[in-house]
Amino acid sequence: MPDHARTVAVITGGGQGLGLAIAERLVAEGCRKLVISGRNVLKGEAAAEGLRASGADVRFLPADMSDAGEAAELVERALMRFGPVNALVNAAASTARGSILDTTPEGWDELMDTNAKGPFFALQRFAQAAVAAGHPASCVNIVTMSSHCGQSFLAGYAASKAALANITKNSANALRAHRIRVNGVNVGWMDTPGEDAIQRQFHGAGDGWLEAAEAKQPFGMLVKPGHVAGLVSYLLSPESGVMTGAMVDFDQNVNGAYGE
């Protein structure tokens, strides 16, 4: 089990879903200084209160990741609260729909700003602070299997996450001389409250959609946040050694495989 007793972390999108699962994992493994962010203040404050029950100093800071200034300021506020920050998880994202035929310029900008621009400038401020302080650090970007291509109704989303995948590799290369590692996880179809809302809003799903979907999957389930959280914890920890610039496909469908 990774030891996060010395981890001081910022997790965007940490108020629910995968971001919250990662926060819970880090706290369970010893992290005692943690900032989580999101746009829903009620959910975020409730999540922080629950995490504090384990004895950790957890703060929820509202932030809109589509605003590059707010993304950088989030890290700055964490630095002011805790001093050196050595772990960053970019988990906040927009999954707005739109194909090549109907995506608007405004929709494109919202996706790019939230899924690529915001994470870029959060990582930039995080890295600047680590370089200035002279300590090693680790970032994990939550990407998606759709970054390889994606469904037709996810054109802008897939493009924005493909940009984040490149940001992951490019920054890993640029920052390795400073002992700052950057890795990413391409997450497959995942069982989260956000996915439930998406299925109901955009795909007309009703009660029982999850059970029906999982019955069709090779392993009888969708990806679970707790499983991904374990990988992210490992990637953030010293146990992952020199690993940097990696994009891990976390899915039960093998990219590039075809029916036989």
Catalytic residues: 157
Instruction: Count CB atoms within 10 A of the CB of residue 229.
Output: 21
Question: What separation, in Å, do the N-terminal and C-terminal C-alpha atoms of the chain show?
Answer: 39
Which tokens go with 5? 């007793």
Provide the b/e sequence for 94-122 (b: ≥16 CB within 10 Å).
Answer: bbbbbeeeebeeebbebbbbbbbbbbbbb
CA distances from 198 to 44, 76, 190, 194 (A): 20, 32, 12, 6
Q: Coil, strand, or helix at residue 250?
A: strand
Instruction: Provide long-range contacts, Cβ within 8 A and 24+ apart, for 169-178.
Output: 169/245, 169/247, 171/123, 171/127, 171/139, 172/244, 172/245, 173/245, 175/127, 175/131, 176/244, 176/245, 178/127, 178/130, 178/131
> What's the sign of the alpha-carbon dihedral 37, 39, 41, 44?
negative
State how far the Cα of 223 lies from the Cα of 217, in Å rounded to an integer: 10
Helices (H), 208-249: 209-215, 225-236
